[in-house]
C-alpha cells in the first residue's frame, strides 16, 4: 500500500472516461455513422474539459498564493503537463480513428472530397450553395499587426496567409475567417449516377471559393490553416448590489467570451511565423496552451453528422415504451393517487412528465405547482405547461438555476418568459447551485388538500431524455412530498434549516447520512447479517466518501459500483479496496442515473438521487435523494442495476491495469449488452 496511491486524480480520471468514449468510435461493431458521432462527443467533451477543469488547474498554477497546491500527489504545474501530454496522445489516436472511419466510409460509397478534388459536374452546385448559404454568413477579418482586433470567441477559424506580388507594399497579408456555427459543417452533394455519395467539409468549401472572397487582392499564393481557441468558461459574478442576479449572470456569460485562452489547437502544417503571429494576436504567451492537430478541428460537429438516408449505418431505434398500467390517455394524477410509478427514460416514454404537468395546468382541483429547473430543451414543453398553468390561475413557483453551465442564456430566456406569464421565480441561494430534480403540486381530493409529485435523477428536458438514461418516480406519498415541499421552503427562506426523515438533502445531510448508511452495512457484516452496497453514479471524487467505502471494504463489505465518468477511487487493492469492483458502461445512451442500494440486513434501502459522490454535490448544491418504498419498483431498480452489472459487451473495468479493459463473455456465457437487455426487460413487462 505504501507504493500504491489511494486516489486517482480527477482530471486524469476524466480523461480516462473520455478515452472510453473514444473506444466506441474505434469499435468496428458500432454502426459506422455512430462511430463518427462518438468521435464528435469525444471532441465536445474535450472542449468543455479545457473550458472548465483545465482552466481551473491553470488558474491555480498561475496563482502565487495557491500555485503549489497538490492534486493527488501532483503540483498544479506537473498536472498541467501530464494533462497536455495525455490529450496530445488522445488527439493523435482520434485522428487515426477518424482516418480509419473515412476508409470504411469509402467502402460504403461515401467519399469526402476537398477543394482539390471537385469534379466539373459538381462545380455549379457548390458555387450556388456557397453564394446562397455560406458567403452571406462569413465573418472575414483582415488582420493588422499594428492595431487591436476582437478575436474573443470560443470558435474554430481559418487563418489565411496571402503572398502578394512584388509591387505591393506588404509581401504577406493575414486574414481570419470564422467558421459559422449556424451553418451545417458537412455539405452533402447530390449523388452521382453510380450511386456514390460525396461530402465536402464547410472549411474546404470556403477554401474552394477563396478566389471570390479575396478577389480584390492580387495574391500569388494563398494558404489556409484551421485553428481552434478554447477560453476559460468559469463565471465571475461581481458583488454589485446595484444590479439583479439575472443581470450578473448575463454580464458574466458575455465576459466568458473574452476570458483567458486555455487551449489553441492548430494545424501542424502551419508555418512557425504564422502561428507566432496568431499567438500574439490572441495574447497567448505560453506554449503549454498549444495542442498540435490535423487539417480539421471542431470535430464536435461530427455529433450532428447527417444520416445520409443510411439506416444500415445507424443504431436501430428504441421506440419509447409506455408505463405498464398507466396510459397517456387516462388521468395520471388519479392513477398516481392509487400507487407509485417509476419511469426509466429513454426506454420508457418521457411524455408522462409532460402529461403530469399539462394535467396539473388544466385540472381545476390543482391549486399550486412547485418545480426546480436546471436544464431545459430549446423548445420546452415543460416551460409551456408551467406558463399554461399560470395563465389558468394556478400558483406556480419555479426555482430556475441560472448558473447551469453553458445553459445560462437559455435559462435566462425561459426565466423572462415564465416571469412575464405570472410565474413566481426564485433563483436559489448565494453560493449554492440548485441541482435537485423535484416537483410537487397541491390538489384538492375528497375535500382535502393532497400533494402529488415526482423526483428524478435527470433534467426535465425532452431532448436529453431521448439519449440520457434517467429515473423519475411519480408518487403521492404524503410523507415524501411533505419533505419535498420543505426543500422549496428552504429555497425561499434559506436561513431555516429543515429536518428530514425520508429524503437525503444536500448541503446539510448528504455526507453524514451516506456515512451512516455505510456504517450500518459495516455493523451488519460484523454481526453476520446480509450486507452490501451497490452504487450507480456519474462521478465519485469526494475523498471522505471514498475513504468511507475503503473502510467498508476493509471490514469485508462487498461493494459494486457502476461509474460512468470520473472515479477517484481505486478498487481491488489488497488491504484497502479488495472488496470493491468498479465498472463503467458506455454505449448508445448516456448512463445518467444515480442509484444508492444498501442491503440493510435484507430489508434493502434504495434511493434515487440527483447527487453524485462529488464535493460540489454534497457541499455546494441543493440535491435530493429520494427513497423508493414500493417493492415492485424496488425490484425494477435492482433488476436494471443487475442488467448493467452483467454487461459483457459495453462494460469496462475502471482504474485497473490496463485501464478501460473491456469486460468480455467468459467461456459458456452469452453476450449481454445491458442497454439492449434493459429495453427487452421493459418490453417483456408490457406483455406479462
Residues tagged active-site: 435
Alpha-carbon gap, residue 572 to 73, rounded angstroms: 20
Closest to 594 (Cα-Cα) out of 501, 473, 432: 473
Tell me how crowded residue 64 is: count the other CB atoms within 10 A of its CB.
6
Where would I find the beta strands (DSSP E) of 446-575?
448-456, 468-475, 504-506, 533-537, 559-563
Per-residue CA distances from 560 to 31, 568, 644 (Å):
31, 15, 11
Q: Cα angle at 535 between 533 and 536, to 5 degrees? A: 165
Question: Kind and range of the H or E element at 177?
Answer: strand 172-178
What does 205-235 look like in DSSP terms, one character per residue?
HHHHTHHHHTTTS-EEEEEEEEEEEEE----
- CA 100 from chain center: how many Å? 26
Residues 6+ apart with CB under 8 A from 456: 353, 437, 438, 470, 471, 472, 473, 608, 610
Give the 3-state DSSP-derived string for 441-472, with helices as H, strands as E and coil as C.
EEEEECCEEEEEEEEECCCCCCCHHHCEEEEE
Contact by Cβ (8 Å): 105, 111: yes
Are 540 and 515 in contact by the 8 Å Cβ rule? The answer is: no
- Is there a contact between 606 and 627 (Cβ–Cβ < 8 Å)? yes
Among 473, 485, 503, residue whose Cα is nearest residue 371: 485
Task: Locate 1 and state its grid cell.
Answer: 500500500
Region class of 386: left (phi > 0), else alpha (psi between -120 and 50), else beta? alpha
Task: Give 135's DSSP letter.
Answer: G
Q: Would you mind telling me the total number of residues written for the chain in this entry? A: 688
Contact 397, 421 (CB under 8 A): no
341: enclosing H helix or E strand: strand 341-345
CB count in 10 Å sphere of residue 106? 12
- In whole angstroms, give the CA distance from residue 539 to residue 143: 44
CA distances 653 to 20, 167, 226, 590, 638, Å, are: 10, 65, 37, 17, 21
Rounded distance between C-alpha atoms, residue 220 and residue 164, angstroms: 5
Give the separation between CA 157 and CA 367, rounded to whole angstroms.
Answer: 53
C-alpha cell at 637: 431498480
**Cα 672 to Cα 648: distance, rounded to the nearest angstrom:** 5
Rg (CA), the chain: 27
Residue position matching grid coordinates 470560443: 154
Q: Which three cell numbers stand for residue 283?
A: 495574447
Amino acid at each position: 500500500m505504501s507504493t500504491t496511491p489511494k486516489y486517482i486524480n480527477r482530471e486524469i480520471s476524466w480523461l480516462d472516461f473520455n478515452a472510453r468514449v473514444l473506444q466506441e468510435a474505434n469499435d468496428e461493431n458500432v454502426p459506422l455513422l455512430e462511430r463518427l458521432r462518438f468521435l464528435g462527443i469525444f471532441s465536445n467533451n474535450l472542449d468543455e474539459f479545457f473550458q472548465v477543469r483545465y482552466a481551473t488547474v491553470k488558474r491555480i498554477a498561475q496563482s502565487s498564493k495557491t500555485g503549489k497546491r497538490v492534486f493527488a500527489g501532483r503540483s498544479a504545474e506537473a498536472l498541467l503537463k501530464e494533462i497536455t501530454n495525455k490529450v496530445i496522445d488522445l488527439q493523435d489516436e482520434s485522428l487515426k480513428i477518424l482516418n480509419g472511419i473515412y476508409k470504411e466510409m469509402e467502402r460504403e460509397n461515401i467519399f469526402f472530397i476537398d477543394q482539390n478534388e471537385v469534379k466539373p459536374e459538381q462545380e455549379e452546385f457548390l458555387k450556388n450553395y456557397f453564394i446562397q448559404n455560406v458567403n452571406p454568413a462569413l465573418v472575414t477579418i483582415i488582420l493588422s499587426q499594428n492595431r487591436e482586433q476582437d478575436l474573443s470567441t470560443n470558435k474554430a477559424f481559418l487563418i489565411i496567409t496571402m503572398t502578394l506580388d512584388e509591387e505591393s507594399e506588404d509581401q504577406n497579408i493575414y486574414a481570419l475567417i470564422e467558421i459559422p456555427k449556424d451553418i451545417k459543417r458537412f455539405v452533402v452533394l447530390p449523388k452521382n449516377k453510380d450511386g456514390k455519395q460525396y461530402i465536402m467539409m464547410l472549411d474546404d468549401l470556403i477554401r474552394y471559393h477563396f478566389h471570390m472572397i479575396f478577389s480584390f487582392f492580387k495574391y500569388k499564393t494563398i494558404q489556409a490553416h484551421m485553428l481552434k481557441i478554447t477560453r476559460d468558461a468559469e463565471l465571475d459574478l461581481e458583488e454589485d448590489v446595484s444590479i439583479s442576479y439575472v443581470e450578473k449572470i448575463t454580464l458574466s456569460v458575455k465576459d466568458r467570451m473574452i476570458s483567458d485562452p486555455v487551449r489553441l489547437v492548430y494545424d501542424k502544417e502551419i508555418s512557425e511565423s504564422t502561428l507566432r503571429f496568431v499567438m500574439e494576436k490572441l495574447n497567448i504567451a505560453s506554449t503549454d496552451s498549444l495542442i498540435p492537430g490535423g487539417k480539421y478541428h471542431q470535430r464536435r460537429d461530427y455529433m450532428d453528422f447527417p444520416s445520409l438516408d443510411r439506416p444500415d449505418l445507424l443504431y436501430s431505434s428504441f421506440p419509447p415504451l409506455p408505463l405498464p398500467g398507466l396510459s397517456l390517455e387516462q388521468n395520471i394524477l388519479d392513477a398516481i393517487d392509487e400507487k407509485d410509478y417509476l419511469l426509466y427514460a429513454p426506454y420508457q416514454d418521457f411524455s408522462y412528465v409532460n402529461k403530469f404537468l399539462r394535467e396539473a395546468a388544466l385540472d381545476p382541483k390543482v391549486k399550486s405547482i412547485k418545480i426546480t429547473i436546471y436544464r431545459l430543451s430549446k423548445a420546452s414543453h415543460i416551460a409551456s405547461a408551467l406558463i399554461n398553468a399560470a395563465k389558468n390561475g394556478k400558483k406556480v413557483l419555479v426555482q430556475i438555476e441560472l448558473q447551469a453551465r453553458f445553459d445560462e442564456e437559455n435559462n435566462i430566456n425561459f426565466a423572462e418568459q415564465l416571469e412575464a406569464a405570472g410565474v413566481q421565480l426564485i433563483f436559489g441561494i448565494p453560493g449554492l447551485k440548485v441541482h435537485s430534480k423535484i416537483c410537487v403540486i397541491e390538489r384538492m381530493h375528497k375535500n382535502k388538500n393532497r400533494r402529488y409529485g415526482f423526483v428524478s435523477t435527470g433534467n426535465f428536458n425532452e431532448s436529453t431524455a431521448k439519449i440520457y438514461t434517467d429515473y423519475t418516480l411519480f408518487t403521492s406519498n404524503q410523507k415524501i412530498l411533505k419533505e419535498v415541499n420543505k426543500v422549496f421552503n428552504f429555497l425561499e427562506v434559506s436561513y431555516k434549516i429543515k429536518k428530514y426523515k425520508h429524503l437525503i438533502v444536500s448541503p446539510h445531510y448528504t455526507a453524514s447520512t451516506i456515512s451512516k448508511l455505510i456504517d450500518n452495512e459495516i455493523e451488519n457484516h460484523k454481526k453476520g447479517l446480509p450486507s452490501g452496497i451497490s452504487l450507480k453514479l456519474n462521478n465519485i471524487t469526494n475523498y471522505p466518501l471514498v475513504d468511507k467505502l475503503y473502510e467498508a471494504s476493509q471490514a469485508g463489505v462487498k461493494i459494486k459500483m457502476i461509474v460512468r465518468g470520473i472515479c477517484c477511487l481505486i478498487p481491488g487493492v489488497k488491504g484497502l479496496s479488495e472488496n470493491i469492483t468498479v465498472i463503467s458502461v458506455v454505449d448508445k445512451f448516456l448512463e445518467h442515473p444515480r442509484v444508492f442500494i444498501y442491503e440493510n440486513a435484507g430489508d434493502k434501502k434504495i434511493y434515487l438521487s440527483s447527487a453524485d459522490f462529488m464535493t460540489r454535490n454534497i457541499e455546494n448544491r441543493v440535491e435530493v435523494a429520494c427513497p423508493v418504498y414500493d417493492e415492485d419498483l424496488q425490484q425494477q431498480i435492482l433488476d436494471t442495476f443487475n442488467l448493467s452489472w452483467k454487461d459483457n459487451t459495453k462494460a469496462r473495468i475502471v482504474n485497473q491495469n490496463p485501464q478501460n479493459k473491456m469486460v468480455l463473455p467468459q467461456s459458456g456465457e452469452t453476450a449481454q449488452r445491458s442497454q439492449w437487455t434493459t429495453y427487452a426487460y421493459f418490453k417483456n413487462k408490457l406483455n406479462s
